Structure 1
Amino acid sequence: MSPRQNSDVFAVFVLDISRLFLSYPQTKTYFSHFDLGSGSHDLQVHGGKVLGAIGEATKHLDNLDEALSKLSDLHAYNLRVDPGNFRLLSHTIQVTLAAHFQADFDATAQAAWDKFLAAISTVLTSKYR
């Protein structure tokens, strides 16, 4: 990816976090210490973390459990994030991708993203049991 494309993808994920908080206000519960204003530094940092985790997952498709184990521990044991929020984030990511990459985000791409994000969500919620 070119630096411009990387910048565009990063901006989309920052927008995605904003969209998550606007669409599902209950998800703000875990971010009471954040500045949730559009384009805030907090949203940029967290959007970068989400994008980084997704990028890491793409490198370890054959072993998502191990690749995301620490992140799963963090969300289950320390942050105690409602596991339903991962489904909400997955949906929001797909809406954001569809809105920004209309020509490329066809039914096949949507199905692939849905399957991939569901696999990530499954790993992140696996420690809740």
Structure 2
Amino acid sequence: MPLSGADKEVIAATWSKVSGKSAAIGADAFARLLTVYSQTKTYFSHFADLSPGSANVKGHGAKIIDAIAKAATNINNIEGSLKVLSELHAYNLRVDPVNFKLLAHCILVSLSISLGADFTPEAHLAWDKFLCEVADVLSEKYR
């Protein structure tokens, strides 16, 4: 389901409320991914420490959320914003594309925690649609 104009406005409004906490949100979402979906750890065997709060988790979480921020601020061109990452994950890293949907779910949880009451049902729906689109863009080179 494509993002509506209202969805885009909600994404922009809610992102402005959490952008100052983006690194913490990214680290939390990435730590959740590794904990809840432990099979994803296989892609990070080169990291010295995958425990929540480690420098590796914080650093990669920041990279993840920076990509989400880039897509959110270029919401009318998500594909262009994530083209390099899409190619990197498909051709070099060969990450199972199912993991993008798992990560999207973890980001939703982290956003919900960070936004609290501002994570309304409308915000949840808009972010879910947006993150599904992000996951689809990251997966499209696999087809």
TM-score in same-fold range (> 0.5) = yes
Tell me if structure 1 keeps the 8 A contact 2:82–2:137: yes
Higher relative contact order (CA 8 A, sep 6+): 2
CA distance in 2, matches of 1:46, 1:122: 21
State the AA in 2 paired with 1:22.
T
Is 1:119 the equivalent of 2:133?
Answer: yes
- Structure 1 residue aligned with 2:84: 70
Q: Is the 8 A contact 2:25 2:65 kept in 1?
A: no
Q: State the SS of the aligned residue for 1:82.
A: coil
The answer (yes or no) to whether the contact 2:74–2:81 under 8 Å persists in 1 is yes
Give how far 1:101 is off. Answer: 2.0
Counterpart of 1:66, as a letter, is G
- Whole-angstrom CA distance in 2 between matches of 1:27 and 1:13: 16
Q: Whole-Å Cα distance in 2 between the matches of residues 83 and 103 of structure 1?
A: 31
Q: Secondary structure at the match of 1:37?
A: coil
The residue aligned with 1:18 is 31
After superposing the two structures, state which structure 1 stretch, 113-122 or 54-63, moved more.
Answer: 54-63
Q: Secondary structure at the match of 1:71?
A: helix
Q: CA RMSD in A?
A: 1.7
Partner deviation per Cα, 1:88-129 (whole Å, 9 max, x = no partner): 001111112222322111110000100110111111000001
- The structural deviation recorded for 1:9 is 2.9
Mark the runs of 5 or more structure 1 residues left unpaired by the alignment.
none
Q: Runs of 5+ in structure 2 lacking a partner?
A: 1-15
How many residues are paired up? 127
What letter corresponds to residue 69 of structure 1 in structure 2? K
2:57 aligned partner: 43
The code of the aligned residue for 2:71 comes to: A
Alignment equivalent of 2:42, drawn from 17, 29, 49: 29
**SS state at 2:68 partner:** helix
Q: TM-score, normalised by structure 1?
A: 0.91
State the percentage of identical aligned residues. 47
Distance in 1, Cα, partners of 2:52 & 2:104: 20
Runs of 4+ in 1 over 6 A off after TM superposition: none
Moved more, 67-76 or 92-101: 92-101
TM-score by length of 2: 0.82
Paired position in structure 2 for 1:83: 97
Match of 1:59 among 59, 73, 76: 73
Once residues 111 and 135 of structure 2 are traced to their aligned partners in structure 1, the CA distance between those partners, rounded to angstroms, is 18
